[in-house]
Amino acid sequence: MRHRLALVAQTLWAVVHELASLQITRGCQVWLSWVALGRRTETRLGHPARTGESGNSLVRSKGQGTTVNGPRMQERREAFSTVEENEAVLENARAEMERHNQLFAAGIISREDNERYPREFQVAEAKFEEAQQHHALIDDKPREEDIAAAQAALEMAKAQLAETEARYEKTLIRSPIEGIVLRKHHRSGESVSNSSTVPDPIVTIGDNSVLRVRMDVDETEVVQVSVGQPAYVTADAYRTQKFTGRVIRVGNELGHKNIRTDEPTERVDTKILGTLIQLDPGTQLPDGLRVDAYIKTAPDVAFK
């Protein structure tokens, strides 16, 4: 009786709207959690997750010119230079005021000319005080409320980054098993939708490290079959070559035939017991190949 060789296959599903990219072809090898399968557009969150948006941001507080990480060294030097400049102007204004006071006392200049220099000294003194206050503000440590506000903004930015990375991760199509691509159901740019009533897979992947044969055992021979028995299969394409294995599963319920041969004398009304044979590791046969399966019930006895 003819039987059919099968890989341990798993179909990859996705509830998506559009495939952004699908980077595999039929027959290519894939590995567990392989990202290179492709990428899909995530629509369940309302908008696509943007790619490559990761990094650190310098969070600055908005409180009266103070930043959490502190001003740059150039800003500190500029503020200090402004203090020194206004101090020099103040000293010059003081010297001019004292000199003109002496000239007024000697009667050389009028009172009106003398009163102008004290006003200039007061202006210079006010500017010097302003420069000192600005330098103190620049050179001071950040306030506690500024640090708290900036820390809250930083935590929010981290949460937003984690959310974006999680959304991006959902757009990646990963292989659930290691194996070979048996069938590619969609192409890049196509719409995909999946439900329990209308399945719409993306690709079907088979584990090519394990080859199994589904065998229909006639109801008259079920008593001779048990798990662990040695078995082998042959195929017309490989002539007399035998591919050995073992029975790994025996069904518990009889049913109708799953595989039909081309023999005109074959009975189709007989009941069968589904049996699964796993071939030895390293066996290389194409998926779906029709083979003749034999189970050894004794050292020199095998039934087909």
- CATH number, domain at 189? 2.40.50.100
**Band of residue 154 on the pLDDT scale cut at 50, 70, 90:** very high
Q: Identify which of 214, 223, 220, 270 has the alpha carbon closest to the alpha carbon of residue 247.
A: 214
In a domain, 106, yes or no: yes
Residues 267 and 243 in one domain: yes
Whether 59 has a pLDDT exceeding 50, the answer reads no
The confidence score (pLDDT) of residue 3 equals 54
Alpha-carbon gap, residue 230 to 297, rounded angstroms: 8
Alpha-carbon gap, residue 61 to 150, rounded angstroms: 5
**Band of residue 230 on the pLDDT scale cut at 50, 70, 90:** very high
Q: What pLDDT, in 10s, does the model give residues 163-181?
A: 999 988 887 777 888 888 8
**Band of residue 62 on the pLDDT scale cut at 50, 70, 90:** very low
* Contact between 202 and 12 (Cβ < 8 Å): yes
Residues 220 and 199 in one domain: no
The confidence score (pLDDT) of residue 39 equals 59
Q: What pLDDT, in 10s, does the model give residues 45-58?
A: 333 334 334 334 33
Number of domains within the chain: 3
In a domain, 99, yes or no: yes
- Low-confidence winner among 85-89, 101-105, 194-198 (lowest mean pLDDT): 194-198
57-61 long-range CB contacts below 8 Å, 24 or more apart?
A: 57/157, 59/150, 59/153, 59/154, 59/157, 60/150, 61/142, 61/146, 61/147, 61/149, 61/150, 61/153
In a domain, 152, yes or no: no
Residues 90 and 14 in one domain: no
The confidence score (pLDDT) of residue 70 equals 60
The confidence score (pLDDT) of residue 11 equals 53
For the segment 245-259, the average pLDDT, to the nearest whole number, is 85
For the segment 143-154, the average pLDDT, to the nearest whole number, is 87
Residues 194 and 266 in one domain: no
In a domain, 68, yes or no: no
The confidence score (pLDDT) of residue 72 equals 75
> Which of 6-20, 207-221, 250-264: highest mean pLDDT?
207-221
* Contact between 12 and 201 (Cβ < 8 Å): yes
Residues 196 and 270 in one domain: no
For the segment 261-282, the average pLDDT, to the nearest whole number, is 78
In a domain, 165, yes or no: no
* Contact between 143 and 63 (Cβ < 8 Å): yes
For the segment 234-263, the average pLDDT, to the nearest whole number, is 84
Residues 175 and 33 in one domain: yes
The confidence score (pLDDT) of residue 179 equals 81
In a domain, 188, yes or no: yes
Residues 221 and 283 in one domain: yes
In a domain, 66, yes or no: no
Whether 24 has a pLDDT exceeding 80, the answer reads no
Residues 281 and 135 in one domain: no
Residues 104 and 131 in one domain: yes
- CATH number, domain at 265? 2.40.30.170
Residues 292 and 242 in one domain: yes
The confidence score (pLDDT) of residue 46 equals 35
Instruction: Show the domain range for 290.
Output: 207-303
For the segment 214-236, the average pLDDT, to the nearest whole number, is 89
Alpha-carbon gap, residue 97 to 118, rounded angstroms: 6
For the segment 188-204, the average pLDDT, to the nearest whole number, is 78
Q: Identify which of 183, 188, 203, 207 has the alpha carbon closest to the alpha carbon of residue 14.
A: 203
* Contact between 303 and 297 (Cβ < 8 Å): yes
Choose the final residue of a domain: 181, 203, 225: 203
pTM of the full predicted structure? 0.48
Quickly count: other Cβ atoms within 10 Å of residue 189's Cβ.
Answer: 11
- CATH number, domain at 119? 1.10.287
The confidence score (pLDDT) of residue 157 equals 94
User: What is the C-alpha radius of gyration for the chain, rounded to an integer number of angstroms?
Assistant: 43
Residues 32 and 178 in one domain: yes
Alpha-carbon gap, residue 24 to 247, rounded angstroms: 34
Whether 159 has a pLDDT exceeding 50, the answer reads yes
In a domain, 154, yes or no: no
